[in-house]
Every structure is written in structure tokens, then in C-alpha cells.
């Protein structure tokens, strides 16, 4: 059930809530601390850079969609019981 909630939050927020979700996972040592930082750079930095650069219609939406898909997949595969070779 937790995985479903994580994926729904990441998708419903268009990926903008991915950094806080992965920060929570990093505090529970499920992922490394750099993971939420990378999501923050992509999810929050893209609109900021797009507004500064201007006329970013060609690439800003694509970057956000890519970040959304990656965040949803990453949230779906988070599993604290995962073992290599299983």
C-alpha cells in the first residue's frame, strides 16, 4: 500500500513532490542523500531555468515529464527488503 501511495503522490503532483518523498526515504536510509537533491534540481530547477531562459516550450515540458516518469518508477521499485539476486 505504501508503494501505491508513493507512486500516486509522485504522479499526481507532476513529480514536484518527488524531492520531499525521497528525502523521507533518505532519512530512513532507503536511498542515498544525493537522490532527493537530484530530484529537486530536475523537478524544481527546470521551471526556474525555463522562466529565466524564456521560450522554453521546446524542452522544459519534456524534462519535467522525464523527471515525473523516473520519479514514479523509482518510487515503485523502492523496497527495503530487496536483496541482490532475488
pLDDT in tens, 18-46: 888 888 888 888 888 898 898 888 888 87
pTM (whole model) above 0.75: no
**Nearest 10 degrees: Cα torsion 4, 44, 28, 76:** 30
Nearest to 37 by CA among 28, 47, 48, 25: 25
Q: Which three cell numbers stand for residue 75?
A: 518510487
pLDDT greater at residue 58 or residue 74 = 74
Q: Where are the domains of the chain?
A: 2-77
Amino acid at each position: 500500500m505504501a508503494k501505491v501511495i508513493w507512486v500516486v503522490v509522485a504522479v499526481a503532483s507532476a513529480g514536484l513532490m518527488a524531492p520531499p518523498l525521497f528525502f523521507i526515504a533518505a532519512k530512513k536510509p532507503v536511498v542515498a542523500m544525493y537522490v532527493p537533491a537530484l530530484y529537486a534540481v530536475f523537478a524544481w530547477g527546470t521551471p526556474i531555468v525555463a522562466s529565466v531562459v524564456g521560450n522554453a516550450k521546446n524542452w522544459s515540458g519534456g524534462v519535467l515529464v522525464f523527471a515525473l516518469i523516473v520519479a514514479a518508477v523509482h518510487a515503485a521499485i523502492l523496497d527495503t527488503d530487496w536483496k541482490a539476486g532475488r
